[in-house]
C-alpha cells in the first residue's frame, strides 16, 4: 500500500486507488498495513448507540503523523468504487457525524483512539447511510534500493478506511443466489455465490459451507467472514475455497449467518444434492 509521491494530484489519485483496494479486502482494515493498524472492521451507530471508537496503532519504528476524514465509497459486486455526487447525496452518513481527533501523532508502538459520534440534534433520514472513516499518514522519507545497489529516497504515504454505518428505523434481509461449484487455478474446488440485499439495512455476517456425505457425518468445507450485502449494490459476489479436489455423493449446504449485531440470525440457507462421480 506504499505510494510514491510525485505531485499532490497524482499522490491523491494513487492514494484513492490504494484505499479502494484496502476496502475491497485486498488489505482488510484491522490488519497490519505498513505503518498503521486500524480496528475494528466496521462500526454501526443509531439512536441507542450514538458513539463508537476505532483504534489506530503504530507498529513501526518511526513516528507517524496522521489525519482523519471521511470518504464516500459505492458498494460494487466485489468491493468498492468511488461514489459519484448523486449517490453521495443519498448515501453519505458524514453530514450527521462528528469525528475526533482530526489529526494525531504516534510514537513507535503508540495507539490512538478515534471517536465517532452522531451530531447533537442531527435527524438522519429513515433507513441506512454509510461513509468510510479515512485514516491517512503524512508522507515520510523511505529508503529504497535499486538493482545497482544505489540508494534511492522516495516519499511514501498510506491510507486505509473502515465503514461507519448510520441507521434510523428499518431492518436487514438478504438472499443467497446463483450458487456455483468451480475450480481454482490449482484444480481445487471452490464455491461462488452472490448475496442480494433485500432489506432497508445492509446485512453482515459469514458464509458457511457444510457437506454431509451420503453415509457420513456433516463436515465443514469452508467459511468466509466479513461478508456484507450493502443496499446500494444489487448483489455482492462471494467465493469460499474448499481445498478439495472432488466430493462424493451427499448434500452441500450454504448458509449466510449473521455476525456482530446480527449474531444468531440466519439470513438464508440453501441445500444442494451432490451426485456421485460418473465412472469412466
Q: What is the pLDDT of residues 71-126, one digit of tens each?
A: 999 999 999 999 999 999 999 999 999 999 999 999 999 999 999 999 999 999 99
Q: Does 216 map to a domain?
A: yes
Same-domain status, 248 and 125 = no
**Which residue segment(s) compose the domain that 207 sits in?**
174-274
Are 254 and 198 contained in the same domain?
Answer: yes
Phi, psi of 106 (to 5 degrees): -115, 130
Per the structure, the count of domains in the chain is: 2
158/198 same-domain check: no
Both 56 and 163 in one domain: the answer is yes
What is the four-CA torsion angle of 72, 74, 80, 82, rounded to 10 degrees? -60
What pLDDT was estimated at residue 214?
87
Q: Are residues 105 and 184 in the same domain?
A: no
In a domain, 25, yes or no: no
Global pTM reads 0.80
Among residues of the chain, what percentage have pLDDT more than 70? 79
pLDDT of 227 strictly over 50: yes
Please choose, from the candidates 183, 162, 175, 157, the residue with its C-alpha nearest in 3D space to the C-alpha of residue 247. Answer: 183
Q: Does 226 fall in a domain?
A: yes
Are 65 and 158 within one domain? yes
Task: Report pLDDT for 243.
Answer: 87
What's the whole-number mean pLDDT along residues 187-208? 96
Q: Are residues 57 and 150 in the same domain?
A: yes
Q: Tell me the pLDDT band of 34, cut-offs 50, 70 and 90.
A: low
Across the range 194-210, mean pLDDT stands at: 97
Query: At residue 25, does pLDDT exceed 90?
Result: no
Q: For 239, how many CA atoms within 13 A lie in the half-sphere containing its CB?
A: 13
Together in a domain, 81 and 159: yes
- Whether residue 200 sits in one domain with residue 150: no
Residues 268 and 256 sit within 8 Å (Cβ to Cβ): yes
Pair 192, 120 in one domain: no
Burial class (CB in 10 A: 0-12, 13-18, 19+), 273: exposed
For residue 221, give the CATH number of its domain.
Answer: 2.60.40.10
Q: Of 126, 147, 168, at which residue does a domain stop? A: 168
Is 179 part of a structural domain of the chain? yes
Residue 237 sits in the same domain as residue 190: yes
Where is average pLDDT lowest: 10-14, 176-180, 196-200, 203-207? 10-14
Do both 43 and 164 map to the same domain? yes
Amino acid at each position: 500500500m506504499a505510494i510514491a509521491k510525485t505531485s499532490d494530484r497524482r499522490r491523491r489519485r494513487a492514494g484513492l486507488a490504494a484505499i479502494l483496494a484496502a476496502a475491497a479486502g485486498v488489505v482488510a482494515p484491522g490488519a497490519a498495513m505498513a505503518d498503521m493498524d486500524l480496528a475494528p472492521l466496521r462500526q454501526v451507530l443509531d439512536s441507542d448507540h450514538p458513539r463508537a471508537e476505532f483504534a489506530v496503532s503504530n507498529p513501526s519504528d518511526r513516528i507517524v503523523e496522521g489525519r482523519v476524514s471521511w470518504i464516500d465509497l459505492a458498494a460494487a459486486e466485489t468491493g468498492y468504487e468511488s461514489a459519484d455526487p448523486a449517490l453521495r447525496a443519498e448515501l453519505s452518513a458524514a453530514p450527521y457525524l462528528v469525528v475526533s481527533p482530526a489529526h494525531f501523532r504516534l510514537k513507535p508502538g503508540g495507539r490512538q483512539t478515534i471517536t465517532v459520534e452522531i451530531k447533537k440534534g442531527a435527524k438522519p433520514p429513515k433507513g441506512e447511510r454509510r461513509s468510510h472513516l479515512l485514516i491517512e499518514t503524512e508522507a515520510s522519507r523511505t529508503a529504497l534500493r535499486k538493482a545497482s545497489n544505489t540508494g534511492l529516497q522516495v516519499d511514501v504515504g498510506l491510507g486505509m478506511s473502515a465503514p461507519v454505518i448510520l441507521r434510523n428505523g428499518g431492518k436487514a434481509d438478504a438472499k443467497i443466489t446463483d450458487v456455483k461449484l468451480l475450480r481454482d487455478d490449482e484444480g481445487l474446488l471452490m464455491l461462488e455465490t452472490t448475496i442480494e440485499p433485500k432489506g432497508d439495512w445492509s446485512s453482515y455476517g459469514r458464509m458457511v459451507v457444510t457437506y454431509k456425505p451420503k453415509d457420513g457425518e456433516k463436515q465443514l468445507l469452508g467459511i468466509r467472514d466479513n461478508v456484507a450485502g450493502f443496499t446500494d449494490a444489487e448483489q455482492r459476489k462471494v467465493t469460499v475455497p474448499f481445498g478439495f479436489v472432488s466430493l462424493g455423493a451427499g448434500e452441500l449446504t450454504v448458509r449466510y449467518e449473521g455476525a456482530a449485531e446480527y449474531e444468531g440470525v440466519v439470513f438464508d440457507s440453501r441445500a444442494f444434492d451432490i451426485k456421485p462421480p460418473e465412472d469412466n
